[in-house]
Amino acid sequence: MSNTKKARLGALAVMTALPATAMADECSTVRFVEVGWTDITATTAMASEVLEALGYEPRVDTVSVPIAYAGLRNNDFDVFLGNWMPSMASISDPYVEDGDVVRLTENLEGAKYTLAVPQYVYDAGVTSVEDLAEHADEFDRRIHGIEAGNDGNELIEQMISDDAYGLGDWQVIDSSEAGMLSELRTRVPNEEWMVFLGWEPHPMNTNFEMAYLSDADDYFGPNLGGATVYTNTRAGFVEQCPNVGQLLENMSFTLEMENELMASIMDDGVAARDAANAYLKEHDDLLAEWLDGVTTIDGDEGLPAVREAL
């Protein structure tokens, strides 16, 4: 066990000795921040469902990635479930290294995040980022990103600034997750060319025939931008609210879980909280795992309370 984890568990033990009513008053509202990505919307909805069933009041604000981290530092938010690493390192690491944000625990392994193209573009010979410049005219020298300021767009901008792969005269198209996918949906029927930010988990991987580009390791990391997603909290939150901290330590997700939830939200139009509620009802074994050692806000056993509330 790492020294950091030992220290955190020690703090949890100390805080658990405080009167439950005092901790409940301080922690009754749990302030989540998310950044408009459906995977984080889905996981935040699941956490919110469980916390509400335990008697807490979850609050969710959606902002850009830089504002999310500034808000965690400034005590505007408590929890962020979407720290994609290593792609988000340039934004998140300074806050973690300064002690303003805690990278609490891994919540998803096996994710990926890098540049992608429709399958017909890949089949035409664009299989690597090194192939893009040769086909600059077909792409209009544009790489389609999501919201301005997010880590993926920043990595593309760095590639352009470095003139990596001959992309020095290209530009990033700032949009949003929904806007980028709408553009892709418009282009695919006519087999128009487009290069864009792709990631998994996400329904785009099944809704579109698409392929990820190789050789962007220097920017997005190896294994096609292979990523681990972490739960982050503001400094001191777990010590202040150890019961919520225990839940956050327990919560982990899978690619299959998130793909199913996102498909429900994006393809079927189900509200995020409703999709999360339905999923949790069908996966009682998951509840038992997440609620191990977790109580209600009033100190009662957590698992029966959540089962009854759902």
Residue 49 has pLDDT above 80, yes or no: yes
Picking from 160, 141, 262, 144, the residue whose alpha carbon sits closest to that of residue 195 is 144
Domain ranges of the chain: 3-111+227-309, 112-224
Q: Output the CA torsion sign for 173, 85, 260, 51.
A: negative
At 251, which amino acid appears? M
Q: Mean pLDDT, the chain, as a whole number?
A: 92
What's the confidence (pLDDT) of residue 303?
96
> Could you report the per-residue pLDDT of 296-310, keeping only the tens digit for each?
999 999 999 999 999
CATH class of the domain comprising 3-111+227-309: alpha beta
Q: Is the pLDDT of residue 7 over 50?
A: no
When pLDDT is averaged across residues 171-193 and rounded to a whole number, the result is 97
pLDDT of residue 26: 82
Q: What integer is the mean pLDDT of 235-259?
A: 97
Average pLDDT score over residue span 217-234: 95
In SS3 terms, the chain reads as CCHHHHHHHHHHHHHHCCCHHHHHHHHCEEEEEECCCHHHHHHHHHHHHHHHHCCCEEEEEECCHHHHHHHHHCCCCCEEEEEEECCCHHHHHHHHHCCCEEEEEEEEEEEEEEEEEEHHHHHCCCCEHHHCHHHHHHHCCEEECCCCCCHHHHHHHHHHHCCHHHCCCCEEECCCHHHHHHHHHHHHHHCCCCCEEEEECCCHHHHCCEEECECCHHHHCHHHHEEEEEEEEECCHHHHCHHHHHHHHHCCCCHHHHHHHHHHHHCCCCCHHHHHHHHHHHCHHHHHHHCCCCECCCCCEHHHHHHHHC
- pLDDT for res 25: 66
The answer as to CATH 3.40.190.100 being correct for domain 112-224 is yes
pLDDT tens digits, 17-26: 444 444 566 8
Domains 3-111+227-309 and 112-224 share a fold: yes
pLDDT at 293 over 70: yes
Assessment of whether the complete model's pTM goes beyond 0.75: yes
CA–CA dist 272, 264 (Å, integer): 8
